[in-house]
Chain A
Amino acid sequence: MTNILVQCGLYLVVLLALAKPLGEFMARVLTGDRTFLTPVLGWLERLTYKASGVDPKQEMKWTQYALAALLFNLAGLIAVYALQRLQGLLPLNPENLSAVSADSAWNTAVSFASNTNWQGYGGESTMSYLTQMLGLAVQNFVSAATGLAVLAALARAFSRRQVATIGNFWADLTRSTLYILLPLSFVLALALVSQGVVQNFGPYVKAQTIEKIDYEEKNERKSTQEQVLPMGPAASQIAIKQLGTNGGGFFNVNSAHPFENATPLSNFLQVLAILLIGAALPITFGRMVGDVRQGWAILAAMTVILVSLLGIAVTSEQAGNPILEKAGVAAEGNMEGKEVRFGIANSALWATATTAASNGSVNSMHDSYTPLGGLVPMWLMQLGEVVYGGVGSGLYGMLMFVLLAVFVAGLMIGRTPEYLGKKVEAFEVKMASVAILLPPLVVLVGTAIAVLVEPGKAGVANPGAHGYSEILYAFSSAGNNNGSAFAGLSANTPFYNAALGIAMLLARYWLIIPVLAIAGSLAAKKTVPAGPGTLPTHGPLFIVLLLGTVLIIGALTFVPSLALGPIVEHFQMVQGASR
């Protein structure tokens, strides 16, 4: 237990220590100030504007900002779709991989454009190097930058007074990519290469195994002494996959693959990268609105939820499966589906971090977790991924809960609620409600349809409560733009590719629209000075109120559904052990 506490504690200390400097740096970038990177990358920023005909000083109304974001993402989606469908004719395809099927290509294009990175395919057996680099990795950057841009627009709206504009989408997108995502990814990619993560353009390597391997293919027993080792430009893609909270693996088993996550140090760096930008953004927000205490309060609320749920995940996995223990076949704790080199603590920590963020990469198989251990990542996604959350999207999601919390507080004391000097009125509360309620609607309706129709049930690998959990997890992942899979579910089918694709589209873009509408509304308002009746939003009382809002909405919305899956499975496990 001491070992677990030290590992998880070290992680949190390093993460929170980096949050302040990175958060302040990002605030300078998003407000257009000069940073230490301006002399290095300023020319590239100016060249980008010049080449694309953008005037970065041209301010946009929220409607223009939203349309720019939507059309940019649409273009990216179509480009990734076309790359996959045409990859057989394109270069950088040493394995001669053929075109991806239409339904899988569409699902993947939606998935990467929306920062979800749900993967119904296996990377090494499906995608050419060109598709991985020019399609998927580029979307990893720009989808994360879209999230940062939307957050920047919202933060700007709080600090502006009676103006109709919220910034320039193209400038926010460019600055986020050039000054935040690219430099961090460059440094992380080099660190990963130093640990043995592959980065090359060579063909797959055939290795001779020491022992003969027996296997079955089409009901025929075969044996071989040859193993194919996939190669490719993995490190560069993995760096942004973690930093951009994308999560799509270069290889099928994601960060459990030794070429994608080679050593304990690469594991630590990657799990740190998953939450790094999300943890720093509340500080960025605090700086941008001129009161950094506001950012610390939000960060504190996020950290309380993260640490609490991390504790449940680690203790559940450490406790293991009592049925197996009773039968005398289990070692201490639940090691099924986990890499021995990472162990329980680093697997549970990763599972918690990846679903707290909208990351979705995995270094263990969540389907093999104990029922309560599996409930934690599922519920973290269902809370809306606001515990640090996705790059930009986590914080703007949390700010929707903040608006709701101040609205509830205002109702309690009979005053018009305010946040950061802006009156929160009916329009903002309606838009925040849309943003908060849409993902649960998508998740619950999607799950209900999938358990009712044959194509939905056909993908389930396990009967009963666990099979239900597999479907609920898939829609929770797609409907909150996470992208992790419970495994077990055969999701590369036309039904799941289409249904989960629609869920990802709705969860991403129909959240961005009300968030930007709130930004437009707030920017147009006066700022009112704090009075004696103003609720302080930087103290412990507000943190508790915010926690209550997030957890009560999360519980009310999803506990009935969780009761049919992981909760009943937990009781079945306990009952099985007592027989």
Chain B
Amino acid sequence: MADVVFLALTAAFFAASIALVHLFERLREHK
């Protein structure tokens, strides 16, 4: 169970990081 929690936390963080990349790119394009 703990493995699933930590792997889900990791996946969520990296998914948020990828979203951040796209967010910053949109900011750059619309500056």
**A residues in contact (CB < 8 Å) with B:** 62-63, 66-67, 70-71, 74, 77-78, 81, 85, 101-103, 105-106, 110, 425-427, 430-431, 498, 502, 505, 509-510, 513-514, 517, 520-521
Contacts and interface: CB of A to CB of B under 8 A. Distances in A.
Interface residues of B, number: 19
Contacts, number: 63
Nearest to B5: A102
Contact of A63 (B9, B10, B25): B25
B28 to A, nearest CB: 5
Contacts of B22: 63
Central interface residue in B2, B7, B28, by most chain A CB within 10 Å: B28
Contacts of B7: 78, 81
Given A81-B7, A521-B28, 7 more contacts: A74-B14, A77-B10, A102-B5, A102-B6, A513-B17, A517-B21, A517-B27
Contacts of A514: 24
Nearest to A517: B24
B31 A427 contact: yes
Nearest to B4: A102
- Which 8 A-B pairs give the minimum distances between C-beta atoms? A102-B2, A106-B6, A517-B24, A427-B31, A66-B21, A74-B14, A63-B25, A509-B17
A70 B24 contact: no
Contacts of B14: 70-71, 74, 509
Given A70-B17, A102-B2, A510-B17, A425 B10 contact: no
Nearest to A85: B3
A139 to B, nearest CB: 15
A519 to B, nearest CB: 11
Contacts of B10: 74, 77-78, 81, 106, 110
Nearest to A101: B2
Contacts of B24: 431, 513-514, 517
A75 B9 CA distance: 14
A85 B1 CA distance: 13
A161 B30 CA distance: 20
9 contacts: A63-B25, A70-B21, A74-B14, A77-B10, A103-B6, A110-B10, A426-B31, A517-B28, A520-B25
Contact of A425 (B5, B17, B20, B31): B31
Given A78-B10, A102-B6, A70 B18 contact: yes
Given A70-B14, A106-B10, A520 B21 contact: no
A342 B31 CA distance: 54
A514 B9 CA distance: 22
Contact of A81 (B5, B6, B31): B6
Contacts of A77: 10
Contacts of B20: 510, 513
Nearest to B1: A102
A107 to B, nearest CB: 9
Contacts of B13: 502, 505, 509
B28 A427 contact: yes
Given A427-B28, A427-B31, A521-B28, A67 B6 contact: no
A102 B28 contact: no
Contacts of A78: 7, 10
Contacts of A517: 21, 24-25, 27-28
A547 to B, nearest CB: 29
B24 to A, nearest CB: 4
A270 B10 CA distance: 33
Contacts of A509: 13-14, 17
Contacts of A62: 25
A78 B6 CA distance: 10
B26 to A, nearest CB: 10
Nearest to B20: A513
Contacts of A101: 2
A430 B31 CA distance: 11
A425 B7 CA distance: 39
Nearest to B27: A427
Contacts of A521: 28, 31
A63 B9 CA distance: 23
Nearest to B6: A106
A85 B22 CA distance: 33
Given A77-B10, A78-B10, A520 B31 contact: no
Contact of B3 (A67, A102, A505, A520): A102
Contacts of B3: 85, 102
Contacts of B27: 427, 430, 517
Nearest to B24: A517
B7 to A, nearest CB: 7
A67 B28 contact: no
Contacts of B28: 427, 517, 520-521
A10 B2 CA distance: 50
Contacts of A70: 14, 17-18, 21
